[in-house]
């Protein structure tokens, strides 16, 4: 269980909005949903200091999404000491988060399957609602195929994630790790890390304790 860091009301709200939307949000969207953009000291703390948010600065307005560490922390936000929260809105939000976590736990106990917060909040397109469960591995394969001219070519994970807006970061990561067990699949780091852009670093997946940035799916 991760330790919840000391967070300001705005930082809590930013994490909660990113959680509830379960997708990448740019600053314009955040301002509309939360009333403020994630910039300055709040962004620096959540991204650089705590590693809870990945910020893409390759375009404007900048966009943000929860990292794996961010998802782990929002799962425990409700454990924060309510007496230390000065604003009533923060207390109300943390109380609501506690109820959401109980609901997720009850779903897991009832159905006997593990349900992440990303899966709980992810918004299915209307076309998927009646079709049943989504297969993230199949969606990753389809996204890869759309980016290459032939099997086996290398694709940056940043470009791959851009093709999968309907999957949470955790779902893409889980699908990528699952693909590693299949023949012809390789996920590797970029040798020249100095050439990496911020979006490439943000899209990386940790495999064996090392950040990897490129995917290749060849013929088995």
Q: Are residues 79 and 152 in the same domain?
A: no
Could you report the per-residue pLDDT of 187-213, keeping only the tens digit for each?
A: 999 888 888 999 999 999 998 889 999
Q: How far is CA 156 from the centre of its chain?
A: 17
The whole domain housing 210 covers 126-217
Q: How far is CA 28 from the centre of its chain?
A: 19
Q: Are residues 24 and 102 in the same domain?
A: yes
Q: Where are the alpha helices (DSSP H) in the chain?
A: 9-21, 27-34, 40-44, 68-74, 88-111, 117-121, 126-129, 136-147, 157-162, 169-179, 198-203
Instruction: Using pLDDT thresholds of 50, 70 and 90, give the confidence band for residue 129.
Output: very low
CATH number at residue 14: 1.10.10.10
Q: How many angstroms separate the first and last alpha carbons of the chain?
A: 38
pTM metric for this prediction: 0.53
Q: Are residues 130 and 213 in the same domain?
A: yes
Q: What is the domain count for the chain?
A: 2
The answer to whether residue 107 is domain-embedded is: yes
Which helix (H) or strand (E) segment holds residue 59: the answer is none
Question: Which of these three, 58, 86, 111, is where a domain ends?
Answer: 111
Question: Which of these three, 50, 76, 111, is where a domain ends?
Answer: 111
């Amino acid at each position: 269980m991760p330790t919840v860091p000391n967070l300001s009301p705005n930082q809590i709200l930013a994490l909660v909005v990113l959680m509830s939307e379960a997708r990448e949000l740019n600053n314009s969207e955040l301002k509309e949903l939360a009333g403020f953009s994630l910039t300055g000291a709040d962004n620096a703390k959540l991204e650089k200091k705590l590693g809870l948010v990945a910020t893409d600065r390759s375009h404007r307005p900048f966009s943000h999404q929860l990292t794996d560490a961010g998802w782990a922390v929002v799962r425990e936000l409700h454990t924060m000491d309510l007496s230390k929260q000065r604003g009533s809105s923060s207390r109300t939000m943390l109380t609501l988060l506690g109820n959401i976590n109980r609901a997720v736990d009850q779903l897991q106990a009832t159905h006997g399957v593990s349900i992440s917060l990303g899966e709980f909040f992810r918004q299915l397109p209307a076309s998927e609602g009646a079709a049943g469960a989504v297969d993230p591995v199949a969606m990753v394969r389809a996204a890869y195929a759309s980016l290459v001219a032939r099997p086996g070519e290398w694709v940056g994970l940043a470009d791959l994630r851009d093709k999968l807006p309907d999957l949470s970061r955790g779902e893409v990561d889980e699908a990528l790790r699952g693909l590693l067990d299949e023949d012809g699949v390789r996920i590797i780091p970029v040798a020249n890390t100095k050439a990496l852009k911020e979006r490439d670093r943000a899209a990386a997946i940790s495999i064996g304790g090392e950040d990897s940035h490129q995917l290749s799916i060849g013929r088995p």
